[in-house]
Amino acid sequence: MGAGTRTGKHAVNDDERWTWDSVWPAPAKLNLFLHVLGRRADGYHLLQTVFRFVGRGDRLRFSPRADGRVTLDEPLPGVPPESDLAVRAARLLQRETGCREGAHIRVEKRLPLGGGLGGGSSDAATALLALDHLWRTGVPRRRLREIGLALGADVPVFVAGENAFAEGVGETLQAIDLPPAWYLVLEPPVQVPTALIFGDPQLKRDTPPLPASAWRPGLGGNDLQPVAVRRFPEIARHLDWLARFGEARMSGSGACVFAEFAAEEAAREALAQLPGDMRGWIAAGLDAHPLRGSEDRRQRTEDSNICGREAPGN
Per-residue model confidence as pLDDT tens digits over 1-16: 333 323 345 577 656 7
> What residue ranges of the chain have pLDDT lower than 50?
1-8, 294-306, 308-314
DSSP code, position 80: -
Q: How confident is the model at residue 251, as a pLDDT?
A: 98
Q: What is d(CA 269, CA 262) in angstroms, rounded to the nearest whole number? A: 12
Q: How confident is the model at residue 43, as a pLDDT?
A: 87
In 116-256, beta strands by DSSP E: 164-168, 172-175, 182-186, 248-250
- Residue in 165, 57, 54 with CA at minimum distance from that of residue 111: 57
Q: What is d(CA 168, CA 153) in angstroms, rounded to the nearest whole number? A: 9
Q: What is d(CA 28, CA 120) in angstroms, rounded to the nearest whole number? A: 10
Q: What is d(CA 148, CA 184) in angstroms, rounded to the nearest whole number? A: 29
Domains recognised in the chain with CATH numbers: 15-284 (3.30.230.10)
Residue positions annotated with a catalytic role: 29, 154
Q: How confident is the model at residue 90, as a pLDDT?
A: 98
Q: How confident is the model at residue 306, as a pLDDT?
A: 46
Q: How confident is the model at residue 15, as a pLDDT?
A: 64
Q: Edge-to-edge strands of the sheet including 280-284?
A: 248-250, 257-261, 182-186, 280-284
CB half-sphere exposure, 309, CA atoms < 13 A: 11
Q: What is d(CA 163, CA 42) in angstroms, rounded to the nearest whole number? A: 28
CB 293 within 8 A of CB 142: no
The alpha-helical segments, DSSP class H, found in 135-176 are 141-149, 155-160
DSSP code, position 94: H
